[in-house]
Amino acid sequence: QQQVKQSPQSLIVQKGGISIINCAYENTAFDYFPWYQQFPGKGPALLIAIRPDVSEKKEGRFTISFNKSAKQFSLHIMDSQPGDSATYFCAASERGSQGNLIFGKGTKLSVKP
């Protein structure tokens, strides 16, 4: 099963709050898990990525939490800002094929001032 399941489809958060987006996968051959951010009219931009040998990775206000046994990973956006309003995609790829990404369906995040 190559699918990556992402939830929620949409999310509304108040400025300063924490945004949490979850993804689950089935394929145990996946070993690279990036998150992409996409603004309207733009291409997806790499935000942060993790490999299964670590359980958490933090870059600024963005944190990936990874649970290998549960085959789940999530993106936490701390101190969410209106400028974070965008669509977020989780993705996964197999070892040796890092650019051949299987994407989740996306989460549209709106951060209210």
Q: Which residues bind other proteins (CB under 8 A)?
A: 34, 36, 41-46, 49, 89, 91, 96-106
Cα 73 to Cα 71: distance, rounded to the nearest angstrom: 7
Question: Which residue lies nearer to other proteins by CB, 37 or 80?
Answer: 37
Would you state the structure tokens that stand for residue 28, as one six-digit string? 């145990």
Taking the C-alpha atoms of residue 91 and residue 54, their distance in angstroms, rounded to an integer, is: 17
Nearer to other proteins, 77 or 91 (CB): 91
Least CB distance from residue 22 to other proteins, whole Å? 16
Determine the 3-state secondary structure of 61 from DSSP.
Answer: coil
CB 51 within 8 A of CB 31: yes
- To other proteins, the closest distance from the beta carbon of 50 in angstroms equals 12
Q: How far is the CB of 14 from other proteins (least distance, A)?
A: 28
